Amino acid sequence: AQSVAQPEDQVNVAEGNPLTVKCTYSVSGNPYLFWYVQYPNRGLQFLLKYITGDNLVKGSYGFEAEFNKSQTSFHLKKPSALVSDSALYFCAVRDIGTSYGKLTFGQGTILTVHP
Amino acid sequence: GAVVSQHPSRVICKSGTSVKIECRSLDFQATTMFWYRQFPKQSLMLMATSNEGSKATYEQGVEKDKFLINHASLTLSTLTVTSAHPEDSSFYICSASGLWGRDNEQFFGPGTRLTVL
């Protein structure tokens, strides 16, 4: 079975400061890892993914994430937060061994960036 | 590329009626489509996975007779909520995979807000 945990329901940060949204995962094999962002009443927008290769992954809108196999983590980061980054963020994992590409999502983290 | 649309974006219906939601991959052939349900401020719950031309695979606890899924072509999947009741009110999101070279990714539709009165 695969699972994802986002330990923080909410993250608050001041504009211009760095932000981190945490994610840990559990899979039986090797993971595919994803971050998505959701704005109110909208679908999910893809931010970045880790499939293989460099542990530091760069994505859309200045976001990046670091894959840490020993800690089974994939934290989302941004050096300088913007008010427009305020949204709901989801981490998701797929076990490479699963059929049909089934994704498991974390419970989501509400990011609020204050002016 | 990799655009997924959903129709309608919002629907309000009376209790007991059936509602059909369409999910289309606009610029690629989706070998697999997924249907999710999301309650306010909660995560996405996978309801079912469908492959073109075959029966959908439902997640545990999801009533297949209540939520009918059809994936008749490589660009269209439909979710029909039969005899809808207020507790079926939710945000339904579809996703599609199968884009050549990125078949490990799912591309999400904008969602459909269902309100059952």
pLDDT tens by residue, B48-86: 999 888 889 999 999 999 999 998 888 999 999 999 999
Q: Phi and psi at residue A75, in whole multiples of 5°?
A: -75, 140
Contact A94 B104 (CB under 8 A): yes
Q: Which amino acid is at A55?
A: N
Q: Between residues 3 and 32 of chain B, which touch chain A (CB distance below 8 Å)?
A: 4, 6, 32
Residue B80: the pLDDT is 97
Residue A44 contacts B, CB cutoff 8 Å: yes
**A70, containing H or E segment:** none
Contact A51 B44 (CB under 8 A): no
**Residue of chain A whose alpha carbon sits nearest to that of B104:** A101
More confident residue, A28 or B46: B46
Residue A32 contacts B, CB cutoff 8 Å: yes
- The 8-class DSSP code of residue B59 comes to P
Which burial class, exposed, middle or buried, applies to A71 when counting CB atoms under 10 A from its CB (0-12, 13-18, 19+)? Answer: exposed
Q: Is the pLDDT of residue A100 over 70?
A: no
Residue B68: the pLDDT is 95
3-class SS at A100?
helix
Which burial class, exposed, middle or buried, applies to B10 when counting CB atoms under 10 A from its CB (0-12, 13-18, 19+)? Answer: exposed
Contact A36 B42 (CB under 8 A): no
Contact A41 B105 (CB under 8 A): no
User: Would you list the DSSP string of B13-48?
Assistant: E-TT--EEEEEEESSS--SEEEEEEE-TTS-EEEEE
Residue A17: the pLDDT is 98
Paired strand residues for A48: A35
| Mutate: best of B10, B50, B93, B105, partner A, most A CBs <10 A | B105
Task: Please give the average per-residue pLDDT across A33-59, as a whole number.
Answer: 90
Tokens of B17: 């009626």
Which burial class, exposed, middle or buried, applies to A46 when counting CB atoms under 10 A from its CB (0-12, 13-18, 19+)? Answer: middle
